[in-house]
Amino acid sequence: QITLKESAPTLEKPTQTLTLTCTFSGFSLTTDRVGVGWIRQPPGKALEWLAVIYWNDDKRYSPSLKTRLTITKDTSKNQVVLTMTDMDPVDTGTYYCVHRSTLKGTFDYWGQGTQVTVSS
């Protein structure tokens, strides 16, 4: 059974760097074409894809946030880490870790999400 769980500080101050950690189980990030990504959702708004990292260490980023994002993986710990620099109140929202399915091509398993608030 695939599970993903996000962890992060709940409150950030403007200009700080956010570090999000996704710890997963039920699959390996060394398996061909598997990916783990991040998606966020501001309060009451739609979903926004942020980044994905694949089994071969290929990394893709949202073009609008690319300069602020870094995604890495630690396959020995079954973890994926996303850092986002220069946090702003507009970055407030729920951040989800997701499993990208090889067969389905899209995001089939989601973590419960972690709420991040950016405020001074």
Binding interface with another protein (CB under 8 A): 46-49, 60-63, 96, 101, 104-108, 110-113
What is the rounded distance in angstroms from the CA atom of residue 118 to the CA atom of residue 107?
Answer: 27
Distance of closest approach, residue 89 Cβ to another protein, in angstroms: 21
Distance of closest approach, residue 102 Cβ to another protein, in angstroms: 12
Is 62 or 70 the residue whose CB approaches another protein more closely?
A: 62
Is residue 119 packed enough to be buried (19+ CB in 10 Å), middle (13-18) or exposed (0-12)? exposed
What is the rounded distance in angstroms from the CA atom of residue 102 to the CA atom of residue 115?
Answer: 28
Is 62 or 78 the residue whose CB approaches another protein more closely?
A: 62
Is 69 or 81 the residue whose CB approaches another protein more closely?
A: 69
Question: What is the three-class DSSP state of 96?
Answer: strand
